[in-house]
Structure 1
């Protein structure tokens, strides 16, 4: 299955028009059975590449998921990464900053969760909240104890975009490959999913009054996302705006992008030296002869 990645990738410096950008496209699967088959293939291949990534131990992969509520971040992560060895994958869900985290710069808490070499790290929300929800609700910025002259000089957002881009370039230079997904959900589809959460007792826990309150700021969030995608999508750390009204389609698109990213790294298993091969062959001889292998 082939994807035109340019259809989803946000080009550096180009501001996307999220109102005109589709939240639903023609499915890449023809039936539920085909969807399950395609996803299973992706998961199997991802598991294989993750094992090589772990053994190769030169690169790490950081996947960042951002979206409006009910866009399917959790389910995308759960389905796409279902076959990955837990030892080689780390998932972090970022909630409201703690008092300790607020005593540091806005990138500090995410640094603690960066993946080690050979591993895949997943950020369910991230430091990007600092130019999204904080921009929509600037009163949050007032509670971060940053010097007044740094937050009221008209440059705070540009400075944060620059800090993020510089941070991600630093990570890229040190072997961390970064892929960022914006799951692009329509307001109408969010409404339907909220109703499902209310009607299904098993999903009531996912819904809160705050979710409805945030819908009032939908247009402001779209403006914030457009600026964020424009300012922080780079060649080394691209943003992909994935249509998210169809969860199955979104999962297939996300998994294909992850697979293509890993495949581009030319990963390989470490080669054994002649000395190591000789040592292994000696051990093999001992194991083949139980008397000698006591």
Structure 2
């Protein structure tokens, strides 16, 4: 009997795992990493790249590289690319996500030494029916039988073994790469039930990165009179550098963003060299933190639940 895998299909990164001895084991991918970037690229030679290899070539292949597609799950009219096409074709969010799932499926098969046909896929607790259906369709396109779509906070509670402890009520605050939700879970007799949930489908780490990008574009514009936002390759380099800076500021009080030959003018090549302090970063993203607080106080979307989460 083949074993089912569990998949966290994330906005920026995805993970595949399997139960071993009753405990979840994260499967490392062929690159040796525990997470796979949720990035899909269509190379000029017709090859489809997924994961880290797709992310690495994004700077030189911006218009043919799809990322953060999870934010568009369930949107019938969304297509990649937004304008034009890729070799005569435009892709739905399900089709792009299926490429990521196929990669995870192959990694699971390499680890287990057998075909992977069954999967459980997690989604944000506040995903509506169309978003959940789209996620299931992506799995089916990838050649998987989706046994169940489960809520991410429920999966988090199970991963921490909270279902094995005494009856309790817990709050899961899940700020991902592109989506955010806060959920109130009731755990009793090994059963995890979502009692209330709220969130924002367009709030996540990507937005913190973008604030740094906007800051750098503004600083560069004032210094050189050049708008980097008009240069797609420059924006991609800025995005990658901003993500790195954000991570560094978690531990350091200051970081330097250095991008030589970011663009060129009539006078020759131009270089970007900016310092960013944690204090500056906090000021740039202050309103994003405020947006994180809002779902905790808004009324739950769970039917039959009336009080806001903060008073339950």
The normalised TM-score by structure 2 is 0.27
Structure with larger Rg: 1
Relative contact order, higher structure (CA 8 A, sep 6+):
1
**More strand per residue: 1 or 2?**
2
The normalised TM-score by structure 1 is 0.28
**More helix per residue: 1 or 2?**
1
